Amino acid sequence: MSGDIATIAQQLGAAVELTMNPAIPMEQRHQAFNQLEEFKENSPYGSQCGFHLVASSESPVVRHFGLKILEDVVKARWNTMVGEEKVFIKDSLMKLMSSGTGHLTVEHLFIKDALARIVVELVKREWPQQWPSLLQELDTLCRQGETQTELVMFVLLRLVEDVALLQTLEQTQRRKEIYSELTANMEQIFTFLLGLLEKHYGAYKASGNEEHCRVSMAIVNTFTALVEWVNIQHVMANEKYLLRCLSHLLSDPRLQLAAGECLLGIVGWKAGKMTERAQLLCLFETDMMVPLFA
């Protein structure tokens, strides 16, 4: 079967390249496109071929098509899929998160975004009931390096956007369940993110390393998606440590815009009572204001 998968994947890759080649007549490109669509809709080998394309192709466009196949498979067939294939997809996705992309400074953003999108689609269907170890697995990935940490931030950012901000999850009950689980674990998530920010920003300032700067920015962007709707106690925890971090980042040319957007989200917080919002007046304290005028 592995030989058959490789052959089919090779044919799919050739069809993808054909559709993207402007030198090929339109009719042939259209035929190749129809071939790809027919495969996505009808083939029982979607997941196997998708992973094969991502792992074996050097073409970013072909790898992206492989990820798109996987996303479509999860969206369209997950509820009717046998348990063995679900385990195969989940395990293979986490392997891709671990070692299936290029280094964060060279990998294409659309590849990283596509991979994160598939993981989020899986989370929407499995967490927390069938995937209780998700947060621990994400923490383990972050310990492997900067590339994995950035991918994890993309996953958390898109999950929060889909569930809490944009609310694009169509099944209301599932959205409520995931929202409730996020809320229940928010203290752990904030502690996790602050620890990562401390680690990577410290490494960035010590070495000027581009990787750590990018990861720091991804972490701040994830905070930005959280601060608008979480309980304000998380923002104010540990003597307002998050606010102090963001105020400090305002003095860094590479990170000041991301930090400013996060602070803007915090001052626009409307999730609680007026008395809780009054805590935000701490931003006018001297040590908070100094970075604004540095």
Specify whether the CB–CB gap between 178 and 244 falls below 8 A.
no
> What is the band of 2 on the pLDDT scale with cuts at 50, 70, 90?
low
State how far the Cα of 169 lies from the Cα of 277, in Å rounded to an integer.
Answer: 29
Convert the pLDDT of each residue in 159-214 to its tens digit.
999 998 877 777 889 999 999 999 999 999 999 999 999 999 999 999 999 999 99
What's residue 3's pLDDT? Answer: 62
| Mean pLDDT, the chain, whole residue set | 93
Residue ranges in 185-255 assigned as alpha helix (H):
186-207, 210-227, 232-249
Residue 100 has, within 13 A of its CA and on its CB side, a CA count of 26
CB 222 within 8 A of CB 160: yes
Mean pLDDT over residues 47-55, rounded?
95
Question: Considering the entire predicted model, what is its pTM?
Answer: 0.94
| Eight-class DSSP state of 45 | T
pLDDT of 77 strictly over 90 = yes
What's the token pair of residue 134? 């998700």
Residue 1 pLDDT grade (very low, low, confident, very high; cuts 50, 70, 90) = very low
How many angstroms separate the CA atoms of 266 and 75, rounded? 34
The torsion region of residue 239 among left (phi > 0), alpha (psi -120 to 50) and beta comes to: left
CA distances from 189 to 12, 135, 136, 177 (A): 40, 8, 11, 17
Using the 8-state DSSP alphabet, how is residue 100 labeled? Answer: S
Cβ within 8 Å of residue 103, ≥6 positions away: 147, 211
Encoding tokens for residue 71? Answer: 């996303």
| Burial call 268-283: b when 16+ CB within 10 Å, e when fewer | ebeeeeeeeeebbeeb
Q: By C-alpha distance, which of 112, 229, 97 is closest to 160?
A: 229
Q: Please state whether the peptide bond connecting residue 132 to the residue before it is cis, i.e. omega within 30 degrees of 0.
A: no
- How far, in Å, CA of 163 to CA of 250, rounded? 29
Is the confidence at residue 132, as pLDDT, over 80? Answer: yes
Mean pLDDT of 222-237: 94
d(CA 5, CA 52): 8
Q: Give CA–CA dist 189/208, Å, rounded.
A: 27
Return the pLDDT at 38. Answer: 94
**pLDDT on residue 273:** 79
Give the separation between CA 181 and CA 60, rounded to whole angstroms: 35
Return the pLDDT at 263.
94
The model's pLDDT over 232-242, given as tens digits with 9 standing for 90+, comes to 999 999 999 99
Residue 180, C-beta contacts closer than 8 angstroms, at least 6 positions apart: none
